[in-house]
Structure 1
Amino acid sequence: MDDHDDLKNRIRQFLKDMEMSREIFAQLCGVSKKQVDKWFSYLPIPKARQRVIERIMMEEYGRRRPSEQDTDMDIIEILVPRNRYDHVRKTADIHGMTVQEWASRSLLALSSVPHHDL
């Protein structure tokens, strides 16, 4: 197996691990889904794009990891401005939750809001 096939196999595993569609992967890579489909079928991935893909996979694996307490849950890392953290903590407290619980429920609720592609 050459390096190119190895990369394609690692991308396939990455998509499976992340439960990520080719559409979302294409957006992260800055290309169309059609381009990603071509990479998987016959077209070589350009060297410059390979480096981008490697970085994307490394960053995504780093941001998202399985929860040890609940195998159906993943842990993600989010950034919160230092000057807003107390407000976030107080809001979570009002709802009787930890910051992590409140953030998780808020993200899940927001991801359920219908949206339209522009």
Structure 2
Amino acid sequence: MTDFRDQLKSFLREKGEDRDWLAARMGVSKKTVDNWFSKKPIPEKKQKLLRELMEKEQQPKQVEISMDFTPEQLEMIRQAAALRGETPGEWCERAIKALTAVSVALNDYHRLGGKGG
């Protein structure tokens, strides 16, 4: 079984967060979090809270978004949705998720030293 520290490291990587973020969420200093990633044992109570945080953060968040469209834009969305067998709301949700993925990929590219064009 994977060591809890490895699970915690993977969680932070997947979230795109760092030890400062984790310290703030847990109400401890960054030095305490650094100690958790060294070979010092993580107290059981803190492990329980960390597991709860990891579980909570991995649950999808429901967000309601309201946007205004011109009649022409709305008609284009309706047509595009119909072509895919989706409702306009489903089409918009998929489009927003795709745009978010592109944005994350671009942020990663720039963070890793890529050059924009």
User: Shorter chain as normaliser: what TM range?
Assistant: 0.5 to 0.7
1:23-102 maps to which residues of 2 (within 5 A)?
A: 23-63=20-60, 77-78=61-62, 89=66, 92-93=67-68
- Verify: 1:21 aligned to 2:5, yes or no: no
Two-structure CA RMSD over aligned residues (Å): 3.0
User: Could you say what secondary structure the match of 1:93 adopts?
Assistant: coil
User: One-letter code of the match for 2:48?
Assistant: R
Q: Identity across aligned pairs (percent)?
A: 29
- Separation in 2 of the partners of 1:44 and 1:38? 8
User: One-letter code of the match for 1:6?
Assistant: D
- Separation in 2 of the partners of 1:79 and 1:6? 34
- Separation in 1 of the partners of 2:27 and 2:62? 22
User: One-letter code of the match for 1:61?
Assistant: Q
Q: Comparing both structures, which one devotes a greater share of its residues to helix? A: 2
The gaps in structure 1 that reach 5 residues or longer are 64-76, 81-87, 106-118
What residue number does 1:116 align with?
Answer: none
Q: Comparing both structures, which one devotes a greater share of its residues to strand? A: 1
Where do 4+ consecutive residues of structure 1 move more than 2 Å?
94-101
Report how far residue 79 of structure 1 moved: 5.5
- Separation in 1 of the partners of 2:5 and 2:29? 17
What residue number does 1:7 align with?
Answer: 4
TM-score (norm 1): 0.53
TM-score (norm 2): 0.54
- Separation in 1 of the partners of 2:62 and 2:30? 27
Report how many residues are paired. Answer: 79
User: One-letter code of the match for 1:34?
Assistant: K
User: One-letter code of the match for 2:43?
Assistant: P
User: Could you say what secondary structure the match of 1:43 adopts?
Assistant: coil
